Amino acid sequence: MRKGLFGGAMLRFCGGVVLLGLLLFVPAGTLDWWQAWLLMGVLFVPMFFAGLMMLWRAPALLRRRLSAREAEPEQRRVIRSSGLMFLTAFVLAGLNRRFGWLTLPGAVTWVAAAAFLLGYLLYAEVLRENAWLSRTVEVQDGQRVVDTGLYGVVRHPMYMATLLLFLSMPLILGSLPSFAVMLFYLPILRRRILNEEAVLSEGLEGYADYMKRVRYRLIPYIW
């Protein structure tokens, strides 16, 4: 069973590598783009080893994350909006590399890479804390409210990590236009969070009380 799970995970992983490479290097018109190679390294190398760790220690969680499909219409709209945002941002970064419109200093790339890895560490901690973590908005059988660790600070630490990850990507690429596009993730994420809280408040026992105890959704003392 794990062999089939490993094969499915590797297929998705390799597909992601190829797709991102095409979105970046084809518009750039060159492979001589060290920021793009750096992004692919900090994105896919930790992802590969995290996937192996999940396969070994939490195969059920990995299987859910690979096979999950959104049932909520609002979440499907959020996913479509996010996909368009990523497509636009990566292609624009490649064009920005080709034509040199608005590029950022190399130092910004390294600071953003460090922030990206910090986001990965936060994401790994969320995976460790929450065994019910899913790619979709749903209430699972036997699920309970997690209110310890990062979940005692904000209600959605996974989205806090993704915010850091996604906003770091265009800065790693040195593309200011792509960063402007990625800022659309903020309203997209707001839509997802508000819909998710409505679903969980209705279907997960204790979640409404948890929302009263933990005031902030995404960023402490801000929202």
Separation of alpha carbons 129 and 123, rounded Å: 10
List pLDDT tens digits, range 34-77.
999 999 999 999 888 887 777 777 677 667 666 666 666 777 88
pLDDT at site 78 = 85
Q: Could you read off the pLDDT of 139-167 as tens digits, one per residue?
A: 666 678 888 889 999 999 999 999 999 99
Type of residue numbered 91? V
CA distance 86 to 99: 20
* pLDDT tens-digit readout, 184-200: 999 999 999 998 899 88
pTM: 0.88
Structure tokens belonging to residue 151: 């979940």
Residue 11 tokens, joined: 């297929």
Length of the chain: 223
- CA distances 103 to 77, 92, 108, 111, 212, Å, are 32, 12, 10, 15, 44
Architecture of domain 2-213: Up-down Bundle (1.20)
**216 against 66, higher pLDDT:** 216
65/13 Cα distance (integer angstroms): 13
Domain ranges of the chain: 2-213
